[in-house]
Amino acid sequence: MKEIILCKLGETILKGANRSNFESILLRSLRRRAETCGRFRVYMLQSTVYIEPQDETCDLTRMHELACRVFGLVGVVRAAECEKNMEAILACARDYLPPLMAGVRRFRVDAKRSDKSFPVPSPEIAARVGGVILASVPGCRVDLHDPEAEIRVEVRDRCAYVHAGQTPGAGGLPYGSSGRGMLLLSGGIDSPVAGYLMAKRGLALDAVYFETPPYTSQQAREKVLTLADKLCVYTGRLRVHVISLTEIQETLMRDCDEDYFTLLLRRFMMRLAQACAREQGCEALVTGESLGQVASQTLASMAVTGAGLEMPLFRPCVGLDKSEIIAYARRIDTFETSILPYEDCCTVFTPRHPHTKPRPDAFEAELAKVDFDGLCERALATRETVERRMK
């Protein structure tokens, strides 16, 4: 019996004349992952991606797991392939399904004929396969409304496929189909979630991390690189550009009003991220800001820290409350890493009474006290790039 993986497309099927571009990006992403699991043939027919093992050494379980994390797919199925006739379909159901239904008491069967020339109607296919299951799996009964297992038979152009339901895919758009952005990645909870949400919309990512040695530690850097590794589960790889803010922070603390310190630092971070983004061919910035969550994320604060940018700034978490962001972080397995107690640059030298409604003119007056362009130039010269890949 031959097993195969079938991947169901999401909103890519709604695209018009450029749909083929989305599909080719999706196929490249799946092929790169397939290379780590053995020799697979990956191709598309009838709006479905087929991942077909070419020999017995292929790791189908691992491939299924990786495919579930590829953006652009809404469902991933591990199925048995058979000839397109009822005898072969029934034999396949009899041999393939019972081990998958251990402990199942209620099931239903659905059938779909993409090949309308197949002589047996879908309701009859479902009924006959259901009869095979009832005879092969003791204690099972049909339940159309509340099944524990949903058996599916798909009759397609070349073959028929039998499976015990699909696993949800990652959804969204193929990674890289919406351009490239620069993620401001801190060690907190929010920024990895922001990166995930934009990657899900097809935005390929680089990341910039700001450190302040010796005030931030090597452990803080490793924490951020671990978060990058977890994002690589979905992105495949991620370049992290590490920039030192030590001179900037020490200068701000010496020369500027303490209450403006965090906001001034955020302006530097935005400008440095934009400069790094341009060098890497990115067209947008991404942050984890959530409206009103902290003093630097009020409407007035975000207005002054983001002023002067010359590329779009995406804040995908802006309308989410903390519990919603934490739920996403748990889902993508970044939460436990994010809460490790290592300082990041934004928690060093935190002002006692930060401004929440800064006046733009007062903010600009504080910024004028320092050599903004010179400090940015010297900070960029400290940049180090670390490449992370999916493990």
* Residue range 374-382: mean pLDDT, rounded: 98
Instruction: Give me the domain span that covers residue 50.
Output: 2-168
pLDDT at 173: 97
Q: Are residues 368 and 344 in the same domain?
A: yes
**Mean pLDDT, residues 63-73 taken together:** 97
Residue 355 scores a pLDDT above 90: no
116 found inside a domain: yes
Q: What is the pLDDT of residues 303-335, one digit of tens each?
A: 999 999 999 999 999 999 999 999 999 999 999
Residue 332 falls within a domain, yes or no?
A: yes
Interatomic CA distance for residues 156 and 172, integer angstroms: 25
Please identify, among 168, 203, 235, the residue that sits at the C-terminal boundary of a domain: 168
245 with 275, same domain: the answer is yes
Question: Does residue 76 form part of some domain?
Answer: yes
The CATH number given to whatever domain includes residue 136 is 3.30.2130.30
In a domain, residue 37? The reply is yes
334 and 219 both lie in a single domain: yes
At a CB cut-off of 8 Å and minimum separation 6, what does 328 contact?
193, 196, 197, 320
pLDDT reported for residue 348: 61
Answer yes or no: do 339 and 246 share one domain.
Answer: yes
For the cut 90, the answer to whether the pLDDT of residue 245 exceeds it is: yes
Q: What is the pLDDT of residue 161?
A: 97
Reference 174, options 207, 199, 205; nearest CA is 199
- Is residue 46 located within the same domain as residue 146? yes
Q: Do the strands 160-163 and 73-82 form a parallel or antiparallel pair, or are they unpaired?
A: antiparallel
Q: Which residues pair with 168 in a beta bridge?
A: 75
Q: Are the CB atoms for 78 and 88 separated by under 8 Å?
A: no
pLDDT value at position 46?
84
Q: What's the whole-number mean pLDDT along residues 99-121?
A: 94
Neighbour-count burial for 264-289, b at 16+ CB within 10 Å, e otherwise: bbbbbbbbbbbbbbeeeebebbbbbb
pLDDT over threshold 80, residue 378? yes
In a domain? residue 152 = yes
Whether residue 228 is found in the same domain as residue 331:
yes
pLDDT of 121 reads: 96
pLDDT digits over 251-307, tens only?
999 999 999 999 999 999 999 999 999 999 999 999 999 999 988 899 999 999 999
Percent of the chain with pLDDT over 70: 98
**Which amino acid, one-letter code, is at 212?**
T
Quote the pLDDT of residue 347. 61
**pLDDT value, residue 327:** 98
Say if residues 92 and 136 touch (Cβ distance below 8 Å). Answer: no
Same domain for 109 and 230, yes or no, is no
CA–CA gap between residue 377 and residue 185 (Å, rounded): 20
Whether residue 34 is predicted with pLDDT greater than 70 in this model: the reply is yes
Categorize the per-residue pLDDT at 381 as very low, low, confident or very high, splitting at 50, 70 and 90: very high
Task: Quote the pLDDT of residue 349.
Answer: 66
Residue 174 within any structural domain of the chain: no
- Are residue 139 and residue 206 in the same domain, yes or no? no
Dihedral sign computed on CA atoms, order 75, 80, 84, 87: negative
Q: What is the mean pLDDT of the chain?
A: 94
Give the tens place of pLDDT for each residue, 159-190: 999 999 899 999 999 999 999 999 999 999 99
Q: What pLDDT does residue 1 have? A: 80
Residue with more model confidence, 342 or 219: 219
The residues pairing with 285 across neighbouring beta strands, listed in sequence order, are 182, 313
Q: How many domains does the chain have?
A: 2
In a domain, 55, yes or no: yes
The percent of residues above 90 in pLDDT, for the chain, comes to 90
Position 345 pLDDT exceeds 70: no
C-alpha to C-alpha distance for 184 and 206, rounded to whole angstroms: 9
Same domain, yes or no, for 148 and 219?
no
pLDDT at 353: 77
pLDDT of 346 > 70? The answer is no
Q: Above 90 in pLDDT, residue 354? A: no
Of 46-60, 251-265, 336-350, the least confident: 336-350
| Whether 275 and 255 share a structural domain | yes
**Measuring CA to CA, how many Å separate 318 from each of 157, 201, 309, 332, 346?**
46, 16, 18, 19, 18
**185 lies in some domain:** yes
Q: What is the CATH number of the domain that holds 283?
A: 3.40.50.620
